[in-house]
Structures are given as structure tokens and as C-alpha cells.
Amino acid sequence: MIVKNAKQERLLREAGKISSDILRTLGSNIDIGITPLQLEELAQRMCKEYGVKPSFMTVPGYNYATCISVNDCILHGIPNDTPFKESDLVKIDFGIVYKRFCTDHCWTWGVGKMTKEDKRLMEAGREATENGCKMAIAGNTTGDISNALYSTATKYGYTTLKDYVAHGIGKTLHERPQILSFGEPGTGERLKNGMVVCIECQVVSCPDTHISDNGWDIMSSDGSNGSMYEYMGIIREKGFDKLTESF
């Protein structure tokens, strides 16, 4: 969507704040022995307390408020009852529907003492996404964002999953434009002032994946871990105006 008036912007900011409050709380509850299902239950309780609905439940066939992807599950992880253990890498993807506006964002947390490699993987994922955000300026193109995502990941010696895209958002969860996690500067769709987008990528060492038996979990083919970060914001002429917070 493109923000057309002050009321729309106000509602989007309110939605982003509520969504950030919930995701921050979910992250603060990650600990050894806690399960993804317990976090899912907390997310649903908090949505009811705030009077909002989980945006992921608008996706046909998906019945959860969160995607919680651990270690070599890179994204779209269905919450399960496997307890977190020391050094797990936990990605929580979450969003809400607030007064008809959707949110969508993701963060990666480490459980307990992390390995040096996973710390580096998290750093690469966060930096790649933030560098993508720096290119989300009116007048640039989707390819400018895509190139920033990919070039940052490769600088660290990693790559990005190419089958999954960043995207526009508004009154539905996934809208135009689609933003690839690789590409050439100056290519793709021109970015317009007021566009609301989610900028994301999955940073991995293995570019090959498969879908688990549950039909949702995207798993690395070699069992290696991945990180994922996603910010939602408004494209402006002076830069990317984030609606969801960093943690």
C-alpha cells in the first residue's frame, strides 16, 4: 500500500508499536526448557489482551500466530513442543491485524551461550537487513534493496535464500512490490514515497532447502543454521521510516 493520509500513518504506527511490544515480550521469554508452543500460546494471549488478531492466521491453512524456526529450520517454522536448549538459534516471525492494517516482522535470538559462528551468522543477517533498509528510499528500485541484502551476506561468506522475498504490506499481509534477496542495482520496480514494505532476508551458508513433512518448515538441506531479520516501514524520500522496532 501507499500511505495517503495522516490517519493511515497513525494507525500503521499504532499497529507497529503493538506488534513490537508483543514480539519483544516473546523474545524475552526465550529460555532453556521453554518450548515454541509456549511462546505461541503467549502470543495468542497477548493478541487477545491488545484486541488484535494474528496476521499469519489470514494465510490459508496456517493456524498459528507465530512462525518459530529453530537452528536449521530457516523460516515458516510451525511452533512445536521441543524445548529450547543451550546455543539454539531462534527466529520468531510475527504480525497482527490492527484496525484492518497488517504487520509482519522477525528477529533472531540466541539461547544461552552462542557459538562464534552463530553470533557471526546473526550479525550478518541483521546487517544485511539493515543495509537493505538504507536503500529503501523513494526513487531507488527494489533491485537496490536486493543487492544490499545479498552483497552484505556474501561479505560475511554467507548467501541468502533466493526463493523467499520481502514484500509490500497494508490491508493484506503480502502485497506488491516483491523484493528479492539478490539482484542488481537499478533493476526492478521503482520505489515510491509512502510505500509500506517489509524488508527481510534469510542469511545462510547453504542455499539449498527442503520442506519438512508438516508442509511448512523450510529446512536447510545440510543441517546448517540460518538467521532471519525483518523490518516493516514506510519508504520516504529521506530514508526508510521503520514502524517495527529493533531489539
47 belongs to a structural domain:
yes
Is the pLDDT at 247 greater than 80? The verdict is no
Instruction: State the pLDDT at residue 126.
Output: 98
246 belongs to a structural domain:
no
- Give the three-class secondary structure for 43: helix
Mean pLDDT of 234-244: 97
Question: Mean pLDDT score of the chain, rounded to an integer?
Answer: 97
CATH code, domain carrying 192: 3.90.230.10
Instruction: State the pLDDT at residue 246.
Output: 81
Instruction: State the pLDDT at residue 160.
Output: 98
Residues in Cβ contact with 7 at an 8 Å cutoff, skipping those fewer than 6 apart: none
Instruction: State the pLDDT at residue 163.
Output: 95
Is the pLDDT at 204 greater than 90? The verdict is yes
Prediction pTM value = 0.96
Mean pLDDT of 16-42: 98
216 belongs to a structural domain:
yes
158 belongs to a structural domain:
yes
C-alpha–C-alpha distance, residues 118 and 114, integer Å: 6
> What is the domain count for the chain?
1
In which domain, by residue range, is 28 found?
6-241
Mean pLDDT of 123-129: 98
Q: What's the Rg (C-alpha) of the chain? A: 17
Instruction: State the pLDDT at residue 198.
Output: 98
Is the pLDDT at 74 greater than 90? The verdict is yes
Instruction: State the pLDDT at residue 206.
Output: 94
Nearest to 66 by CA among 98, 34, 27: 27
Which residue stretches of 35-76 are H helix? 36-50
